[in-house]
Amino acid sequence: MSAGQAAAAMIGSCTMPCGRMFFHALDALPGFGAFIYIPNAGIRDARATVLVHGITRNAAEHVLRFAALAEKHQTILVAPLFSRALFPRYQTLGFRNQRWAQPEAAMDTLLDDLQARYAIDLSAMYGFGFSGGAQFLHRYAMRKPAQFRRMVIGAAGWYTFPDSDVPYPRGIGEGAHTSVAEQLPAYLRLPIQVIVGSRDNRCDAALNQSTDIRRQQGRTRIGRGQRYVKALHERAAALGLASGAVFLRLPGAGHDFSEAMLRHGLGEQVAEFLFCDGDAA
C-alpha cells in the first residue's frame, strides 16, 4: 500500500485527495468553506490543525506554507476562509445585522460537516492563528477550550483579557457569551503560546489604537502579547490554577506572515510547540 493509500485508509471512507490542497464549500452557508490538506504520510493520533488567517484572508497561503510540516507531523490542515462580505468582524466573533454571518456558528457548522462527510475526528484540534486570525482563535477557544489540545496565538492586534469587570471583547464582562465565564478555568489551563516577532513593534494602521485598548493592553503587539500572558497567569493564580500560557519573541520577524514563515522559522516554531509530545511511532 502506498503512503497516499495508507493516508486515505486512515480516514475511513474519505474521498478527499491526499497530498494536495483542496477547497471544501459549506452547503449550509454559501460563500463559506475551508482549504484542506490531508498528508500523504498519514494522520497520527487523529491530529488536526486549524489555521486561521488574518485580515488579508490568505487562508490558502496558510495551508501551502504549512503543508510540508503537515507531512512531517502527520496532521490534517483546516483553514477556514472568512470572506469580507460575510464576516467583516470575524476577529471578535461578532456581527451587526442579518446580512452578516455569525463566525462562531459558521465554524461550528464547518467542523461538524467535515467530520460527518469525511469521517475525520476534529473534536480536539491543534490551532494556529495569525494577526486577526489569532484574535478569532483565542476568542473561539475561550468559549470552547475542550476543542483544542494546544494552540499558538500569532501576533494578535489585541486580546480578550480574563477580566470580568471589563466588557467584551476587551474583557469577559458585559456582552461576553455565557460560556466564556463557565469555561474560563479550562481555557486558563490550555497550553497556549503567544508568539510575536521581535520587530513587530510598529503602531501601523491595522493595529487598534483606541484609548481603552492602549490603556489596558499597551501600544504594540509585543507589549500586548506580554500583558495578555501575564493576565492569564494572574487570573489562573487567583483561581488556584496553573496557567498553560507562555510568551515568545520570534527573532527578526515583523508583522508579515509570509516573511515570518520563509525567513524566520515561524512554521517550525509553531509545530515545535503544538507537537511537543513528539512524533515517535
Q: What is the mean pLDDT of residues 76-89?
A: 95
**What pLDDT, on the 0 to 100 scale, is given for residue 202?**
85
Greatest mean pLDDT among 61-75, 83-97, 266-280 lies in 61-75
- Residue 14 pLDDT exceeds 60: no
The mean of the pLDDT values for the chain is: 91
Task: Please measure the distance between the N-terminal and C-terminal CA atoms of the chain and give it in whole angstroms.
Answer: 18
Residues 6+ apart with CB under 8 A from 94: 103, 169
Contact criterion met (CB below 8 Å) for 136 and 62: no
Half-sphere exposure of 15 (CA within 13 A, CB side): 3
Q: Which helix (H) or strand (E) holds 202?
A: none
Q: 220-246, pLDDT tens digit by residue? A: 999 999 999 999 999 999 999 999 999
What is the per-residue pLDDT for 6?
A: 41
Q: Just give the CATH number of 130-276.
A: 3.40.50.1820
Q: Could you give the C-alpha distances from 57 to 30, 85, 127, 216, 249, in angstroms and in order?
A: 17, 11, 17, 28, 24
CATH homologous superfamily for the domain 1-123? Alpha/Beta hydrolase fold, catalytic domain (3.40.50.1820)
pLDDT band at 194 (very low <50, low <70, confident <90, very high): very high
* pLDDT tens digits along 142-154: 999 999 999 999 9
Lowest mean pLDDT among 47-56, 142-151, 207-216, 257-266: 207-216
DSSP string, 123-168: SSEEEEEETHHHHHHHHHHHH-GGGEEEEEEES-S----S-TTS-T
pLDDT value at residue 244: 95
Instruction: Give the start-to-end residue ranges of the domains of the chain.
Output: 1-123, 130-276
What CA–CA distance (Å, rounded) separates 130 from 132? Answer: 6
